Structure 1
Amino acid sequence: MGHLMRQGTSAGKVALAVLSLLLATLIWGKGLQESFSRPSVVPKLSMRQQEISLLAAPAVPNSLKPLLIGEKPKSNLRKILRDLPLDQLEDRERLILALLEPSQDVRRSTLQKTAENESLSSIQKRLLESSTDKKNTQFILNDLAKIKNDPLLYQLTCFALGGNEKTCVDGLISKSMFLRLMFSQGVPVIAVLLGSGFLIRQLWLLLRRVNASWPGLVALPLFPIDMVLLVAGGFVVLGEVLFPALVAPITETLTKDIGSPLKESLRVFLGYIAMTIPPLLILRQQLGSLKGLDLPKNGWLQWRLKPFGNGLVQASHGWLMVMPLVLLTSWLMNSLVGDQGGSNPLLELVLKSQEPLSLALLLLTTVVFAPLFEELIFRGTLLPVLAQTLGRSGGVIVSALVFALAHLSVGEFPPLVVLGLGLALLRLSSGRLFPCVLMHSLWNGVTFINLLLLG
């Protein structure tokens, strides 16, 4: 049987693998280079965080203000907006920056560019008028009616036009923003504390050498060359370039009469489905070539869906332990080399989208399909084959590097490597693929909820 398998490593197969690897290197190299020109979502997230802090301030107890909103939320938001190039600010952001400026001269210079949006343009014109009647409360309320759905802009403009706290501050919105702030800041803090505790305990057990032994590794009887064909050929060349190009006209036809952001979300959804088809077909063919071999218990991929509760506990435990390490890596990178940009465009799309159907498509893509597909390829197939060839440590490291490279972002590469290491170690320690899918889904899901809260 080994002789028959080695016959499959023909000269044509080797040539195809080499060609796939060269093309994948060029494609990924170009993608990584282009990531430098993609904007980072970090400033947007920081800005949204400060906006929520400013709105939540009236409802935050004094004892919690230093922890949740800091001493000067207005100054913090103004600094974030000032750090961004003025010509890159959206009309709303430029208007907020002007309202936060203490100097009237600076405010006027910031407002020189007329907003394209009619409502914002009207407010901008009112702010520039020197004869504004700041005594007439009804006048102020009528003037602000068009931006009532933007709480921060409404509040800042209301104060700028002479309104008082009773007129300008909505108590229900402040309480709502306080709850958002508690979740967006509280969950990461709790996760980091718990995860750090689990990491310390794990290190202590490792030093005492009382860790439970890991189960035996079940790997597909394939070769690294098969993984090159699967990842480089199927995932990169066919999945990321050729197949999406073929289905792009179909996607364009299906979405031509749909407005944004639903159109963008549908394109992302259909594009991701299209990307998964070639590598899944290749994997299906590779699994089909194993017919006649003794199928191991629980199958070649070791999904092992049951017991579900145990898988959920393992996934949660892994997620908690990787959280402080990923955040630490991100912090170190930002401190040492700064924000490298290249954020996943999906983050910006979720942050801006408000349509339920659009968000549902993005949720399905990021929390269901992406974890299932990526874990199947990277931890279900690639990792065991590499571990069989390079040893467990080599398999963990190389699979994590390939996983991070696949996201085509230089700025996000180090944190994604750490996440990939955590997922790989969970796969080996549990002997199951299912907890890896749950952990990946949990990671994306918490990120998705946080973006919704900041949106």
Structure 2
Amino acid sequence: MTSSPTDRRLTKLLLALISLVLAMVVWVMGLISSLSRDSVTPALSLQQQEKALLAEPSLPPQLRPLLVGGDPSAQMLEALEEVPLDRLDDRQRLLLAALTRDEAQRTAALALPMQRPELSAMQQALSTYEQGGRLTEANQALLSDPALDPLLRQLSCEALGGSKAWCTDPSDANAAAQATQRLLLAELLPIAALLTGVGLLIRHLWSRFRGKLPAWPTLVGPLLTPADMAILVAGGFVLLGEVLLPVLVSPLIVLISQGQSGALGQAIAVLLGYIALAVPPLGILRLQLGGLEREEMPVGGWLQWRPSPWLTALLQGGRGWLMVMPPVVLTGWLMGKLVGDPGGSNPLLEMVLRSDNPWALVLLALTAVVLAPLFEELVFRGVLLPVLARVLGRGWGVVISGLVFAVAHLSIGELPPLLVLGIGLALLRLSSGRLLPCVVMHACWNAATFLNLILLGS
């Protein structure tokens, strides 16, 4: 006995409603729990101050106020104090003990045992040193250990009574030059991109005011219903992709990644976890598109990838990334001023910041710069936006698809900037009539963030 079309529609509506309610519960719980996650901002600020302090001797005098500020040692101490003591690693606790003049803080920083022998020896030296004493021969020999990095050696030397001139090792000039290069790139590249984006935005708004911009093409997308979208996003993306399948495949992911080193094992787990997240919604979408009438399929397909011409897609995506950067940065800045740093950063950010394993960074880049833009743009701008725009109008389609995109990242702290980014991606989809430029723009955004973390990271 076959079911009637009415019964199938009712079943679909019921499934969509149940999926939507459960997904809302999952998302609300995820957003609330994000408040307990640490923010990557203090760790990023700390890494930036480390590079500034190490680079100070090799910086041209005219660039020091811009890249280092007034007193890099004081700024470094402030950055260390912003991070909870239990989140500092052994080396960072030694840096804190070397910089602080507060005995209680110094004692607390040196209280926990150190894992590496050279750090444990430095911990002992700093613990027994009395303020105002001279640098002993034993401590001089300790400071000559090549296992100590240049910044830790210099600050520990000064804390143990050595003069700044004596503690500055000429052999560390190469490390200072590398820190200078990283600091310059990390500071100047975002500023250049931001200024370029402001110029492009002003030019774009002026052209629109004068009526010189071409009309947007007709928005083409799959002929799916809001119920289909609820099943795809709420059921496939959230319930199956974020909740159920990760639980089922997590033992396999652990088995595959446990034989690798810490950073590489984590990167493998992130990559496999993201693939597992994407499989259910992609499977549902394939079934949904397969059920549409093929004679109604538009030129370029339901998703409007339209890869040719490639160069135009690359230029449109790069231009969109530059133009969306100023409003996203402004939104993040305003949020920081109004409510502070609520935390909840994506754990992948700190993973990239702290990783020094090149293969781990390659896998993390593959996840963040390739797979995430492809999958998320397919779902949010390839399917969700056209369906919402057809049902609710373009304006509401842009806003709601951007909001769903932001909420799906499950971070209250990142929600407003991600909403602005999602709106920018939706506007590019509407103005270009293609999906590929959105993937390029999304990949540019993630790649820029990834590059900045590498430049300032370990």
Quickly name the TM-score band, shorter chain normalised. over 0.9
Partner of 1:173: 175
Relative distance call for 1:103 and 1:267 in structure 2 (3 A) is closer
Q: Take 1:56 and 1:422, find their aligned partners in 2: how far apart are those partners?
A: 37
Q: CA deviation at 1:377?
A: 0.3
Residues 1:274 and 2:273 are matched in the alignment: no
Q: Distance in 1 between matches of 2:328 and 2:5?
A: 40
Give the equivalent residue in structure 1 for 2:156: 157
Q: CA deviation at 1:101?
A: 1.8
Q: Which residue does 1:205 correspond to in 2?
A: 207
Query: Please, what TM-score do these two structures have when normalized by structure 2?
Result: 0.93
Distance (Å, rounded) in 1 between the aligned partners of 2:286 and 2:104: 67
Helix, strand or coil for the counterpart of 1:290? Answer: coil
Match for 1:389 among 388, 391, 402? 391
1:77-226 alignment to 2 at 5 Å? 77-102=76-101, 107-108=106-107, 110-130=109-129, 134=135, 136=137, 140-145=140-145, 147-148=147-148, 150-161=149-160, 162=162, 164-167=166-169, 170-226=172-228
Secondary structure of 1:185 counterpart:
helix
- What's the CA shift for 1:166? 4.2
| Alignment partners' CA distance in 2, 1:74 and 1:219 | 56
User: How has the CA–CA distance of structure 1 residues 405 and 27 changed in structure 2, closer, same or farther, with 3 Å as cutoff?
Assistant: same
Tell whether the 8 Å contact from 1:78 to 1:101 is kept in structure 2 after alignment. Answer: yes
SS at match of 1:342: coil
After TM superposition, the structure 1 stretch with the greater mean CA deviation from structure 2, 241-250 or 415-424, is 241-250
Could you say which residue in structure 2 is the equivalent of 1:452? 454
Structure 2 match to 1:421: 423
Greater CA deviation, 278-287 or 120-129? Answer: 120-129
Please give the secondary structure, in 1, of the residue aligned with 2:326. helix
Which deviates more, 80-89 or 349-358?
Answer: 80-89
Q: Deviation of residue 165 (structure 1)?
A: 4.6
Structure 1 CA distance, aligned partners of 2:340 and 2:297?
Answer: 50
Task: Report how far residue 406 of structure 1 moved.
Answer: 0.5
Report the equivalent of 2:381.
379
Identity %: 50
Task: Give every structure 1 segment of 4 or more consecutive aligned residues whose post-TM-superposition deviation is greater than 6 Å.
Answer: none
1:326 aligned residue (314, 325, 328): 328
What is the number of residues matched between the two proteins?
Answer: 449
Q: CA deviation at 1:104?
A: 6.3
Q: In 2, distance between residues paired with 1:43 and 1:105?
A: 22
Shift of 1:215: 1.0
User: What is the Cα deviation at residue 72 of structure 1?
Assistant: 1.1
In 1, Cα distance between equivalents of 2:26 and 2:433: 33
Shift of 1:202: 1.6
Once the two structures are TM-superposed, the CA of residue 6 in structure 1 deviates from its matched residue by: 7.8
After superposition, give the CA deviation of every residue in 1:252-311 in whole Å (9 maximum; x if it has no partner): 222232231111111111110011000000000011011333321111111111111111
Query: What is the CA distance between 1:7 and its match in structure 2?
Result: 5.5
Length-normalised TM-score, structure 1:
0.94
Q: Would you say 1:249 and 2:251 are equivalent positions?
A: yes
Displacement of 1:144: 4.2
The code of the aligned residue for 1:412 comes to E
Determine if contact 1:276/1:373 at 8 Å carries over to the other structure: yes
Report the alpha carbon displacement of residue 360 of structure 1 after superposing the two structures with TM: 1.2
Equivalents in 2 of 1:439, 1:6: separation in Å? 41
Task: State the SS of the aligned residue for 2:345.
Answer: coil
Deviations 1:336-360 (A, max 9, x none): 0010100000001111111122111
Shift of 1:82: 1.9
Which position in structure 2 is the counterpart of 1:239?
Answer: 241
What do residues 393-416 of structure 1 show as CA deviations (whole Å, max 9, x unaligned)? 111000000000000000000000
The equivalent residue for 1:338 is 340
Q: Structure 1's 130 and 99: CA in aligned 2 closer, same or farther, altered over 3 A?
A: closer
Q: Partner of 1:299: helix, strand, or coil? A: coil
Q: Is the CA contact (8 Å cut-off) linking 2:99 and 2:159 kept in structure 1? A: no
Q: CA deviation at 1:142?
A: 4.5
* Aligned equivalent of 2:410, options 405, 408, 411: 408
Aligned partners of 2:251, 2:96: CA distance in 1, in Å?
42
Residue segments in structure 1 that go unaligned for 5+ positions in a row = none
**Structure 2: runs of 5+ lacking an equivalent:** none
Distance 1:356 1:47 in 2: 22
Aligned equivalents of 2:7 and 2:377: distance in 1? Answer: 26
Judging changes above 3 Å, is the alpha-carbon distance between structure 1 residues 72 and 166 closer, same or farther for their aligned structure 2 residues?
Answer: closer
Distance in 1, Cα, partners of 2:143 & 2:61: 33
Aligned mates of 1:143, 1:93 — CA distance in 2? 17
The 2-side partners of 1:436 and 1:140 are apart by 57
Cα distance change, pair 256–112 in 1 and its aligned pair in 2 (3 A) = closer
- On the 8 A contact 2:428/2:437 being kept in 1, the answer is yes
Query: How does 1:426-437 map onto structure 2 within 5 Å?
Result: 426-437=428-439
Partner Cα distance (1:142, 1:92) in 2: 15
One-letter amino acid of the counterpart of residue 438, structure 2: C
Is residue 158–residue 168 contact of structure 1 (8 Å, CA) maintained in 2? no
Between the aligned partners of 2:361 and 2:25, the Cα distance in structure 1 is 33
Cα distance in 1 between the residues matched to 2:139 and 2:25? 61
